[in-house]
Amino acid sequence: MLEIEKLSRHFNGRAVLRDVSLQLKPGEYVAIVGESGVGKSTLLNLVAGLDRPDGGRLCLDGEDYGRLDEDALTRLRRDKLGFVFQAFHVLPHLTVGQNVALPLWLQGLDAAAAAAPARQLLDAVGLAVRADSWPRELSGGEMQRVAIARALVHRPRLVLADEPTGNLDPANGNKVLHLLATRIREAGAIGILVTHSLEAAATADRVLRLTPEGLCG
């Protein structure tokens, strides 16, 4: 379970987030929408452990990770979190299969042990035949599917998606959103999608709106 309790963050004396609270169970997938500048990216960075809150608690499976030291936080991100970004972040010097296997390598698996689960995830996103291709040979929609496979290959407890279709055309974007939702639910992970698009948000189980007063919906 993910528990966010009265989370706050200030920048230059200004409250960007104030008393934000949320609880999510495994298998739940929510979208967070809101006006530009309201703090959606700040909230996602806090939940991702990429920034520290000024107040409140962040707990994943009972562990208050907002108070972990940097080494422990790095291990938590490596082992329990998966990320899907707008800008793909697919590494050009690795093949598609190697990109998907990367989180498993970081956990200490050798290339041979990581190859099978990587191919399994590529098959799940419809790209098994592309395992030996280079990223430069893929379309934008295909690269985002690679990013989804990579985000899920190590069975994370929490998957965070930040405007994952921002660089895609509407047709490919819609396919990627439905694929992301399906794979998160089937994996039994917790999913959070941050987006400005109500159409994208509609693919989640619930839509929450972030306002200066907190989350509602």
**Beta bridge partners of residue 4, listed in sequence order:** 22, 58
Annotate 68-125 with three-state secondary structure: CCHHHHHHHHHHHEEEEECCCCCCCCCCHHHHHHHHHHHCCCCHHHHHHHHHHHHHHC
CB 158, CB 80: distance < 8 Å: yes
CATH number at residue 89: 3.40.50.300
Q: Cα 39 to the chain's mean position, in Å?
A: 17
Tell me how many domains the chain contains. 1
Residue 76 domain boundaries: 2-216
Distance CA 16, CA 35 (A): 12
215 falls in which pLDDT band (50, 70, 90)?
Answer: confident
140 falls in which pLDDT band (50, 70, 90)?
Answer: confident
Query: Which residue in 169, 163, 202, 204 sits closest to 184, CA to CA?
Result: 204
**Beta bridge partners of residue 8, listed in sequence order:** 55
Which two structure tokens, joined as six digits, stand for 58?
């962040």
- The pTM score is 0.89
For residue range 3-32, list pLDDT tens digits in order: 999 999 998 888 889 899 999 999 999 999
- Could you give the 3-state DSSP secondary structure of residue 216? strand
For residue range 40-92, list pLDDT tens digits in order: 989 999 999 989 999 999 999 999 998 889 999 999 999 999 988 877 788 99
Which two structure tokens, joined as six digits, stand for 29?
């997938």
For residue range 163-212, list pLDDT tens digits in order: 888 777 888 788 888 888 988 898 899 999 999 888 899 999 999 999 88
